[in-house]
Amino acid sequence: MRFAPPFASWHESIIPMSRRTKRPPKKSLRKSTKPTKSWAIRRSERNTISLARIGISLVDFKFGGTGFSDFFEAFFGGGRGRSAFGGFGGRQATAERGADVEADIMVTLEEALHGSTRTVSLRRAGSNKVENYQVKIPRGVHEGQRIRLAGQGEAGTRGGKSGDLFLRVRLARHPDFTVEGSDLIHEVKVAPWQAVLGTELKVPTLEGNVRLKIPPGTQGGQRFRLRERGLPGISGKRGNLYVVAQMNIPKKLTEREREIWSELAKLHSA
């Protein structure tokens, strides 16, 4: 009897090494030495624009810190200086006009009537220096009107023009007159017998004294008009002077005066 070699079937079932399926090699855990680009560089390259694409023969440029290239910033403004289009989008240092200055000037009624030229002294705020100006006061100025001195205000900046100085007219108080527009008011005291019998009084005007006739029976507060004795109006025509009668009642009477007033009282009570 012939026996097969031991483990023959097992031996025959063994696959030769040359016919076995090769496993894929394991990846090396060692990092590659090939340099890689950073995120900033890749982003910069993506933002790179070639002007040749839009028909401009210039070198490539990259966006800067403002998000625009130097080329665009130069033409459209990016806070790096003056714009090629005169400040489109960019802030420029422009000339600024100086501020106007206002001050009061006291004008007499005589100056308002005739006009005048006089020296005015002015000291600006924050300065001890006194500045003198020759001011022409025109005929017919009125309360609140402003007289302009061109270029005498605050100095301008960056080559700008100076502002103007405005002098606001304040009419000085007069001992004889009050002002109502272009009219003057003067109060005159009238004694009772003058009011009853009538009289003639001397009243002042801006051009000297004149005589005013007080008719008999004048009442207290009654006005008498002197034409064109006031101030010049806007049209140039002068206003009027109004004389107002104020009753001057005596506070002390002599014995004789008391007798006379008593007789008058009896006559009116009869």
Helix, strand and coil content of the chain, in percent to the nearest 5, comes to 20, 30, 50
Which of residues 10 and 223 earns the better pLDDT score?
223
Band (pLDDT 50/70/90 cuts) for residue 72 is very low
Q: How confident is the model at residue 32 (pLDDT cuts 50, 70, 90)?
A: low
Q: Considering only residues 37 and 198, tell me which one the structure prediction assigns the higher pLDDT.
A: 198
SS (H, E, C) 151-182: CCCCCCECCCCCCCEEEEEEECCCCCCEEECC
Question: How do residues 41-62 score in pLDDT, each as one tens digit?
Answer: 455 455 444 444 444 444 343 4
Question: What are the residue ranges spanned by the domains of the chain?
Answer: 41-76, 101-171, 178-247
* Tokens standing for residue 140: 């017919």
* 78-92, 223-237, 248-262: range with lowest mean pLDDT: 78-92
Q: Report whether pLDDT(177) > 60.
A: yes
Q: What is the pLDDT of residue 224?
A: 98
CATH class as words, domain 178-247: mainly beta
**Neighbour tally for 177: CB within 10 Å:** 21
Q: What is the mean pLDDT of residues 24-36?
A: 54
Pick the CATH number of 101-171 from 1.10.3470.10, 3.40.50.1110, 2.60.40.10, 2.60.260.20: 2.60.260.20
Cα separation, 62 vs 69, in Å, equals 6
pLDDT band at 128, cuts 50/70/90? Answer: confident
In angstroms, the CA 61 to CA 63 distance is 7
Q: Check if the beta carbon of residue 228 is closer than 8 Å to that of residue 240.
A: yes
Topology match between the domains 101-171 and 178-247: yes
The identity of residue 146, as a single letter, is R
pLDDT at site 171:
96
pLDDT in tens, 130-144: 989 999 999 999 999
The mean pLDDT of 11-24, rounded to a whole number, is 49
